[in-house]
């Protein structure tokens, strides 16, 4: 039996997956939980996740309305500001630009066990040495803390430390949703655009929904923060340092790593042992 007190910060998809694994954990979410990043755009998962994403769909990828070629992939990378790995097709690219693949779609935003779930409750401070968090409804102590909010925001909340000199680079994304009538059911069409003159970098279509993603504000769009994150050389050291205090940062934003997909977080959580015997003792 695991009697460790576990607190999860954030009820986006990663926080919800964490709550499925650690049923007794408390979870704090600043919003009312009705719209998460996952609901704002169309996201697909490479493996099914029970209770969360299990609907198998087909997807098709086009770059400038053509099937992806190495040249087109590179043009898109230039547009996205990824100059470094130009002319190098990575495993991630092959997955992302597989012209005809299958994936799993997010079906259920629900949390299996609503006891211990605090919506509209913001975490405001982390007391590292006392192993406590402060929230808008009071103070809570933990044995283990799972953080899913963006790493710079989390660091800013740690009492007694000043991380403001560490620069975390990101590009906010704007997303706009439209209703459409699609002919093919359960086929996600993914259109990428390489032209630097075109502010839109991707359009996704699935059944009756179209999502337009752009780095510029579009009419009636909503803002997604942090949107696109760029690697930071300090991140790995920071994540290791936090683990010494029994704090685990999980998810693309919490780990500040653009390569993290939701299924990586699911696998990470599946293997995470948070029993008291696994506790880190600080000397």
Q: Under the rule (CB under 6 A), what is the footprint of ligand FAD?
A: 9-15, 28-31, 36-38, 41, 43-45, 122-123, 148-149, 153, 173, 213, 224, 227, 251-253, 261-262
Supply the DSSP symbol for 281. P
Q: How far is the CB of 84 from ligand FAD (least distance, A)?
A: 20
Residue 129: Cβ within 10 Å count: 9
75 phi-psi bin (left φ>0, alpha ψ -120 to 50, beta other): alpha
Place of tokens 């029994």: 246
Q: How far is the CB of 231 from ligand FAD (least distance, A)?
A: 15
Nearer to ligand FAD among residue 61 and residue 173 (C-beta): 173
**SS3 for 50?**
coil
Question: Which helix (H) or strand (E) is 89 found in, with range?
Answer: none
Best CA proximity match to 179, nearest among 210, 200, 218:
210
Nearer to ligand FAD among residue 121 and residue 194 (C-beta): 121
Nearer to ligand FAD among residue 36 and residue 194 (C-beta): 36
Nearer to ligand FAD among residue 37 and residue 75 (C-beta): 37
Handedness of CA 233, 236, 241, 246 (dihedral sign): positive
HEC string for 165-184: CCCCCEEEEEEEEEECCCCC
Q: How far is the CB of 100 from ligand FAD (least distance, A)?
A: 16
The gap between the terminal CA atoms of the chain, to the nearest Å, is 26
Q: How far is the CB of 182 from ligand FAD (least distance, A)?
A: 18
Nearer to ligand FAD among residue 6 and residue 45 (C-beta): 45
Nearer to ligand FAD among residue 44 and residue 155 (C-beta): 44
Q: How far is the CB of 226 from ligand FAD (least distance, A)?
A: 8
Q: How far is the CB of 70 from ligand FAD (least distance, A)?
A: 22
């Amino acid at each position: 039996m695991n009697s460790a007190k576990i607190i999860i910060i954030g009820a986006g998809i990663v926080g919800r997956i964490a709550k499925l694994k650690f049923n007794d954990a408390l979870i704090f979410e600043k919003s009312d939980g009705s719209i998460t990043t996952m609901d704002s755009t169309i996201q697909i998962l490479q493996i099914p996740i029970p209770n969360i994403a299990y609907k198998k769909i087909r997807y098709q990828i086009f770059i400038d309305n053509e099937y992806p070629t190495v040249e087109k992939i590179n043009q898109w990378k230039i547009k996205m500001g990824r100059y470094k790995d130009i002319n190098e097709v990575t495993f991630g690219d092959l997955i992302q630009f597989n012209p005809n693949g299958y994936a799993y779609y997010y079906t259920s935003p629900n949390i299996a066990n609503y006891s211990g779930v605090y919506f509209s409750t913001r975490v405001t401070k982390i007391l590292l040495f006392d192993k406590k968090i402060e929230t808008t409804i009071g103070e809570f102590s933990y044995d283990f803390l799972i953080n899913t909010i963006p790493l710079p925001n989390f660091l800013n909340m740690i009492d007694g430390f000043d991380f403001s000199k560490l620069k975390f680079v990101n590009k906010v994304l704007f997303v706009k949703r439209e209703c459409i009538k699609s002919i093919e059911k359960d086929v996600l069409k993914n259109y990428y655009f390489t032209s630097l003159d075109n502010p839109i970098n991707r359009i996704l279509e699935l059944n009756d929904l179209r999502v337009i993603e752009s780095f510029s504000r579009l009419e009636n769009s909503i803002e997604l923060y942090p949107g696109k994150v760029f690697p930071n050389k300090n991140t790995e050291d920071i994540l290791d340092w936090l683990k010494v205090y029994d704090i685990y940062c999980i998810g693309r934003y919490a780990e500040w790593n653009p390569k993290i997909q939701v299924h990586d977080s699911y696998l990470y959580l599946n293997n995470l042992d948070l029993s008291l015997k696994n506790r880190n003792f600080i000397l």
